[in-house]
Amino acid sequence: MTGPTTAPQLSMGLTSFSAEALKDWDSLLDHARLYDRAGVDRLLVSDHIAFGERLEEYGRPEVGGVSGGRQPTGPDGHWLEPMTVLSAVSSVTSRVRLGTNILQAALRRPAVLAKSAATLDVLSKGRLDLGVGVGWQREEYEAAGLDFEGRGKLLDHTLAVCRTLWREQRADFADDRLRFEAVHQMPKPVQPGGVPVWVSGTVNRAVARRLARFGSGWIPWGPAAADIREGIAQMRRAVAEFGREDWDIQVVGTLPVRCSDDGRPDAGATFAQVPALVEAGVTDVRVPWKAADDLDQAADELAAFVAAFRAAAK
In a domain, 66, yes or no: yes
pLDDT digits (tens, 9 = 90+) for 94-113: 999 999 999 999 999 999 99
In a domain, 61, yes or no: yes
User: Which residue in 291, 310, 254 sits closest to 101, CA to CA?
Assistant: 254
C-alpha pair distances (Å), 314 with each of 16, 219, 256, 271, 306 = 32, 23, 20, 12, 12
Element (H, E) at 147: none
In a domain, 223, yes or no: yes
Looking at residue 6, its pLDDT comes to 74
Q: Which residues does the chain have with pLDDT short of 50?
A: 1-3
> DSSP for 229-257?
HHHHHHHHHHHHTTT--S---EEEEE-PP
Give the dihedral of Cα atoms 235, 41, 185, 211; nearest 10 deg: 0
What φ, ψ does residue 95 adopt, rounded to 5°?
-130, -30
Number of C-beta neighbours around residue 2 at 10 A: 9
In a domain, 217, yes or no: yes
Q: Find all residues with CB under 8 Å of 192, minimum gap 6, and list them.
A: none
In this structure, what CATH number is given to the domain that contains residue 92?
A: 3.20.20.30
Domain carrying residue 61: 9-250
Residue 39 DSSP symbol? T
Number of C-beta neighbours around residue 256 at 10 A: 10
Number of C-beta neighbours around residue 159 at 10 A: 24
User: Which residue in 140, 20, 22 sits closest to 73, CA to CA?
Assistant: 20
Confirm if 302 and 34 have CB atoms less than 8 A apart.
yes
| pTM of the full structure | 0.95
- Spatial distance between the Cα atoms of 283 and 249, rounded to a whole number of angstroms: 9
Number of domains into which the chain is organized: 1
C-alpha pair distances (Å), 291 with each of 75, 133, 158 = 24, 25, 34
- Spatial distance between the Cα atoms of 191 and 261, rounded to a whole number of angstroms: 45
> Helix (H, G, I), strand (E, B), or coil: what is residue 124?
coil
In a domain, 165, yes or no: yes
Omega within 30 of 0 (cis) for the link into 219: no
In a domain, 292, yes or no: no
In a domain, 89, yes or no: yes
Element (H, E) at 279: helix 274-280
Looking at residue 5, its pLDDT comes to 54
pLDDT digits (tens, 9 = 90+) for 295-307: 999 999 999 999 9
- Spatial distance between the Cα atoms of 203 and 280, rounded to a whole number of angstroms: 16
In a domain, 273, yes or no: no
Q: Where are the alpha helices (DSSP H) in 95-200?
A: 110-123, 138-143, 151-167
Please tell me the chain's helix, strand, coil percentages from 3-state DSSP, rounded to the nearest 5. Answer: 40, 15, 40
